Structure 1
Protein backbone atom coordinates (compact mmCIF):
# COMPACT_ATOMS: atom_id res chain seq x y z
CA UNK A 1 0.00 0.00 0.00
CA UNK A 2 2.65 2.59 0.76
CA UNK A 3 3.01 5.14 -2.02
CA UNK A 4 6.34 6.91 -2.24
CA UNK A 5 7.23 9.73 -4.59
CA UNK A 6 10.83 10.86 -4.83
CA UNK A 7 11.60 14.09 -6.67
CA UNK A 8 15.21 14.84 -7.44
CA UNK A 9 17.17 17.51 -9.29
CA UNK A 10 18.51 16.47 -12.67
CA UNK A 11 22.02 17.32 -11.43
CA UNK A 12 22.02 14.31 -9.05
CA UNK A 13 20.75 11.73 -11.55
CA UNK A 14 24.07 9.90 -11.80
CA UNK A 15 24.85 10.18 -8.08
CA UNK A 16 21.51 8.83 -6.77
CA UNK A 17 21.25 5.01 -6.78
CA UNK A 18 17.49 4.79 -7.11
CA UNK A 19 17.05 0.98 -7.34
CA UNK A 20 19.15 0.36 -4.20
CA UNK A 21 17.33 3.16 -2.38
CA UNK A 22 13.90 1.72 -3.29
CA UNK A 23 14.89 -1.78 -2.18
CA UNK A 24 16.11 -0.57 1.20
CA UNK A 25 13.16 1.80 1.55
CA UNK A 26 10.63 -0.98 1.01
CA UNK A 27 12.41 -3.09 3.64
CA UNK A 28 12.31 -0.15 6.08
CA UNK A 29 8.61 0.37 5.46
CA UNK A 30 7.90 -3.26 6.31
CA UNK A 31 10.12 -3.24 9.40
CA UNK A 32 9.18 0.15 10.86
CA UNK A 33 5.63 0.84 9.69
CA UNK A 34 4.28 -2.66 9.15
CA UNK A 35 3.69 -2.19 5.43
CA UNK A 36 3.71 -5.04 2.93
CA UNK A 37 6.63 -5.15 0.50
CA UNK A 38 4.29 -6.41 -2.26
CA UNK A 39 2.20 -3.26 -1.86
CA UNK A 40 5.04 -0.71 -1.91
CA UNK A 41 5.09 1.63 -4.90
CA UNK A 42 7.97 4.03 -5.39
CA UNK A 43 7.94 6.57 -8.21
CA UNK A 44 10.98 8.63 -9.14
CA UNK A 45 10.49 12.02 -10.73
CA UNK A 46 13.54 13.73 -12.20
CA UNK A 47 13.11 17.49 -12.10
CA UNK A 48 14.61 19.14 -15.15
CA UNK A 49 14.21 22.54 -13.58
CA UNK A 50 14.32 23.63 -9.95
CA UNK A 51 14.89 26.97 -8.29
CA UNK A 52 16.50 26.51 -4.89
CA UNK A 53 17.81 29.12 -2.49
CA UNK A 54 19.31 31.93 -4.59
CA UNK A 55 18.73 30.08 -7.87
CA UNK A 56 22.38 29.31 -8.52
CA UNK A 57 23.05 26.03 -10.36
CA UNK A 58 25.12 24.50 -7.54
CA UNK A 59 21.96 23.86 -5.50
CA UNK A 60 20.18 20.50 -5.84
CA UNK A 61 17.59 18.51 -3.91
CA UNK A 62 16.09 15.10 -3.28
CA UNK A 63 12.68 15.05 -1.61
CA UNK A 64 10.73 11.91 -0.65
CA UNK A 65 7.03 11.93 0.15
CA UNK A 66 5.58 8.91 1.93
CA UNK A 67 1.84 8.26 1.91
CA UNK A 68 0.44 5.48 4.10
CA UNK A 69 -2.95 4.73 5.58
CA UNK A 70 -3.66 6.81 8.69
CA UNK A 71 -3.28 5.38 12.15
CA UNK A 72 0.43 5.18 12.83
CA UNK A 73 1.60 6.93 16.00
CA UNK A 74 3.85 10.00 15.72
CA UNK A 75 6.93 8.11 16.95
CA UNK A 76 6.59 5.57 14.10
CA UNK A 77 6.25 8.41 11.58
CA UNK A 78 9.37 10.11 13.01
CA UNK A 79 11.35 6.85 12.97
CA UNK A 80 10.31 6.19 9.38
CA UNK A 81 11.10 9.68 8.07
CA UNK A 82 14.46 9.57 9.85
CA UNK A 83 15.24 6.20 8.28
CA UNK A 84 14.26 7.46 4.83
CA UNK A 85 16.47 10.52 5.23
CA UNK A 86 19.39 8.28 6.18
CA UNK A 87 18.71 6.03 3.16
CA UNK A 88 18.63 9.01 0.80
CA UNK A 89 22.03 10.10 2.07
CA UNK A 90 23.44 6.56 1.97
CA UNK A 91 22.36 5.99 -1.64
CA UNK A 92 23.61 9.32 -2.99
CA UNK A 93 27.28 9.52 -3.90
CA UNK A 94 29.20 12.58 -2.73
CA UNK A 95 28.55 15.58 -4.95
CA UNK A 96 31.21 18.17 -4.03
CA UNK A 97 30.14 20.56 -6.80
CA UNK A 98 26.59 20.71 -5.38
CA UNK A 99 24.96 21.93 -2.22
CA UNK A 100 22.47 19.07 -1.87
CA UNK A 101 19.32 19.31 0.25
CA UNK A 102 17.54 16.13 1.41
CA UNK A 103 14.01 16.16 2.81
CA UNK A 104 11.22 13.73 3.70
CA UNK A 105 7.52 14.26 4.30
CA UNK A 106 4.90 11.83 5.62
CA UNK A 107 1.21 12.11 4.94
CA UNK A 108 -1.73 10.01 6.01
CA UNK A 109 -4.05 8.54 3.41
CA UNK A 110 -7.73 8.35 4.27
CA UNK A 111 -8.61 4.65 4.15
CA UNK A 112 -12.28 5.47 3.42
CA UNK A 113 -11.42 7.67 0.45
CA UNK A 114 -8.66 5.54 -1.10
CA UNK A 115 -9.57 3.42 -4.13
CA UNK A 116 -7.51 0.76 -5.87
CA UNK A 117 -7.99 -1.88 -8.55
CA UNK A 118 -5.52 -4.67 -9.29
CA UNK A 119 -5.70 -6.02 -12.80
CA UNK A 120 -5.01 -9.76 -12.77
CA UNK A 121 -1.88 -10.83 -14.59
CA UNK A 122 -2.58 -12.82 -17.73
CA UNK A 123 -0.22 -15.69 -18.41
CA UNK A 124 0.01 -16.95 -21.96
Structure 2
Protein backbone atom coordinates (compact mmCIF):
# COMPACT_ATOMS: atom_id res chain seq x y z
CA UNK A 1 0.00 0.00 0.00
CA UNK A 2 2.46 2.66 -1.06
CA UNK A 3 1.23 6.23 -0.87
CA UNK A 4 3.08 9.10 -2.51
CA UNK A 5 2.02 12.43 -1.06
CA UNK A 6 3.23 15.61 -2.73
CA UNK A 7 3.02 19.04 -1.12
CA UNK A 8 3.98 22.11 -3.12
CA UNK A 9 3.96 25.84 -2.53
CA UNK A 10 1.13 27.68 -4.28
CA UNK A 11 3.54 30.02 -6.00
CA UNK A 12 4.64 27.17 -8.30
CA UNK A 13 1.34 26.61 -10.11
CA UNK A 14 2.09 29.09 -12.90
CA UNK A 15 5.27 27.17 -13.74
CA UNK A 16 4.61 23.60 -12.65
CA UNK A 17 1.71 21.35 -13.65
CA UNK A 18 0.75 19.40 -10.50
CA UNK A 19 -1.07 16.75 -12.55
CA UNK A 20 1.99 16.11 -14.67
CA UNK A 21 4.15 15.93 -11.54
CA UNK A 22 1.79 13.35 -10.00
CA UNK A 23 1.90 11.31 -13.22
CA UNK A 24 5.71 11.44 -13.36
CA UNK A 25 6.14 10.41 -9.72
CA UNK A 26 3.55 7.62 -10.06
CA UNK A 27 5.33 6.25 -13.14
CA UNK A 28 8.73 6.52 -11.43
CA UNK A 29 7.46 4.63 -8.39
CA UNK A 30 6.13 1.83 -10.57
CA UNK A 31 9.40 1.73 -12.50
CA UNK A 32 11.27 0.80 -9.31
CA UNK A 33 9.55 -2.58 -9.34
CA UNK A 34 9.20 -2.25 -5.57
CA UNK A 35 5.61 -1.00 -5.51
CA UNK A 36 2.59 -2.97 -6.67
CA UNK A 37 0.45 -1.11 -9.19
CA UNK A 38 -2.78 -2.10 -7.41
CA UNK A 39 -1.59 -0.59 -4.15
CA UNK A 40 -0.02 2.65 -5.34
CA UNK A 41 -1.81 5.94 -4.68
CA UNK A 42 -0.20 9.24 -5.67
CA UNK A 43 -1.68 12.62 -4.85
CA UNK A 44 -0.70 16.27 -4.49
CA UNK A 45 -1.81 19.10 -2.32
CA UNK A 46 -1.15 22.78 -2.84
CA UNK A 47 -0.02 24.67 0.25
CA UNK A 48 -1.16 28.26 0.49
CA UNK A 49 0.43 29.03 3.84
CA UNK A 50 4.19 28.64 3.97
CA UNK A 51 7.42 30.46 4.69
CA UNK A 52 10.60 29.30 2.99
CA UNK A 53 14.19 30.11 3.95
CA UNK A 54 14.59 33.89 4.23
CA UNK A 55 10.93 34.55 3.44
CA UNK A 56 11.50 35.73 -0.14
CA UNK A 57 8.08 35.28 -1.80
CA UNK A 58 9.79 33.78 -4.86
CA UNK A 59 11.14 30.87 -2.83
CA UNK A 60 9.20 27.66 -3.44
CA UNK A 61 9.15 24.03 -2.34
CA UNK A 62 8.03 20.56 -3.33
CA UNK A 63 8.06 17.86 -0.66
CA UNK A 64 7.44 14.23 -1.61
CA UNK A 65 6.63 11.69 1.07
CA UNK A 66 6.50 8.03 0.05
CA UNK A 67 4.84 5.85 2.68
CA UNK A 68 5.50 2.17 2.06
CA UNK A 69 4.77 -1.10 3.82
CA UNK A 70 7.40 -2.64 6.07
CA UNK A 71 9.92 -5.17 4.91
CA UNK A 72 11.92 -3.52 2.15
CA UNK A 73 15.66 -3.46 2.80
CA UNK A 74 17.57 -0.16 3.15
CA UNK A 75 19.00 -0.43 -0.37
CA UNK A 76 15.51 -0.75 -1.86
CA UNK A 77 14.22 2.19 0.18
CA UNK A 78 17.19 4.28 -0.97
CA UNK A 79 16.60 3.26 -4.60
CA UNK A 80 12.94 4.31 -4.31
CA UNK A 81 13.99 7.69 -2.88
CA UNK A 82 16.61 8.24 -5.59
CA UNK A 83 14.18 7.29 -8.37
CA UNK A 84 11.51 9.64 -7.04
CA UNK A 85 14.06 12.46 -6.62
CA UNK A 86 15.25 12.00 -10.21
CA UNK A 87 11.66 12.34 -11.45
CA UNK A 88 11.07 15.36 -9.20
CA UNK A 89 14.25 17.06 -10.39
CA UNK A 90 13.36 16.41 -14.04
CA UNK A 91 9.88 17.89 -13.62
CA UNK A 92 11.16 20.99 -11.79
CA UNK A 93 14.35 21.63 -13.78
CA UNK A 94 13.11 24.85 -15.42
CA UNK A 95 11.77 26.26 -12.16
CA UNK A 96 14.97 25.33 -10.31
CA UNK A 97 16.98 27.39 -12.82
CA UNK A 98 14.97 30.58 -12.16
CA UNK A 99 14.15 30.77 -8.44
CA UNK A 100 14.90 29.45 -4.99
CA UNK A 101 13.42 25.94 -4.82
CA UNK A 102 13.66 23.33 -2.09
CA UNK A 103 13.04 19.73 -3.15
CA UNK A 104 12.61 16.93 -0.62
CA UNK A 105 11.93 13.20 -0.94
CA UNK A 106 11.44 11.01 2.11
CA UNK A 107 10.56 7.33 2.23
CA UNK A 108 8.82 6.15 5.42
CA UNK A 109 7.74 2.68 6.40
CA UNK A 110 4.15 2.30 7.58
CA UNK A 111 4.05 0.44 10.87
CA UNK A 112 1.43 -2.21 10.25
CA UNK A 113 -0.17 -2.71 13.66
CA UNK A 114 -2.99 -0.23 13.10
CA UNK A 115 -2.79 0.19 9.32
CA UNK A 116 -5.95 -1.38 7.89
CA UNK A 117 -6.66 -1.81 4.19
CA UNK A 118 -9.50 -3.02 2.04
CA UNK A 119 -9.41 -2.77 -1.74
CA UNK A 120 -10.12 -4.67 -4.91
CA UNK A 121 -7.61 -2.78 -7.03
CA UNK A 122 -5.05 -5.58 -7.40
CA UNK A 123 -7.67 -7.92 -8.88
CA UNK A 124 -9.14 -5.22 -11.13
CA UNK A 125 -5.71 -4.23 -12.47
CA UNK A 126 -4.94 -7.86 -13.25
CA UNK A 127 -8.35 -8.37 -14.87
CA UNK A 128 -7.97 -5.19 -16.95
CA UNK A 129 -4.64 -6.47 -18.23
CA UNK A 130 -6.50 -9.55 -19.54
CA UNK A 131 -9.27 -7.52 -21.23
CA UNK A 132 -12.30 -5.31 -20.52
CA UNK A 133 -13.89 -5.63 -17.09
CA UNK A 134 -17.62 -6.42 -17.26
CA UNK A 135 -19.89 -3.89 -15.55
The 8 Å contact of residues 4 and 41 in structure 1, kept in 2 or not, is answered as yes
- Structure 1 or 2: more helix by fraction: 2
User: What is the CA distance between 1:36 and its match in structure 2?
Assistant: 1.4
Could you list the runs of 5+ residues in structure 1 that have no partner in the other structure?
Answer: none
Residue 49 and residue 98 in structure 1: after superposition, are their counterparts in 2 closer, same or farther (change >3 A)? farther
TM-score (norm 1): 0.83
TM-score (norm 2): 0.77
1:35 equivalenced with 2:17 (yes/no)? no
Deviations along 1:82-101, one digit per CA (max 9) or x if unpaired, are 11111112112513542011
SS at match of 2:107: strand
- How many Å separate the matches in 1 of 2:39 and 2:15? 27
User: What is the CA distance between 1:33 and its match in structure 2?
Assistant: 4.9
- How many Å separate the matches in 1 of 2:86 and 2:114? 31
Residue 57 and residue 43 in structure 1: after superposition, are their counterparts in 2 closer, same or farther (change >3 A)? same
Aligned length: 122
User: What is the CA distance between 1:38 and its match in structure 2?
Assistant: 2.4
The 8 Å contact of residues 5 and 66 in structure 2, kept in 1 or not, is answered as yes
Q: In terms of mean alpha carbon deviation, does 16-25 or 82-91 score higher?
A: 16-25
Q: In terms of mean alpha carbon deviation, does 18-27 or 79-88 score higher?
A: 18-27
Q: CA RMSD in A?
A: 2.3
Could you list the runs of 5+ residues in structure 2 that have no partner in the other structure?
Answer: 122-133
- How many Å separate the matches in 2 of 1:3 and 1:64? 10
User: What is the CA distance between 1:67 and its match in structure 2?
Assistant: 0.3
- How many Å separate the matches in 2 of 1:59 and 1:76? 32
1:76 equivalenced with 2:76 (yes/no)? yes
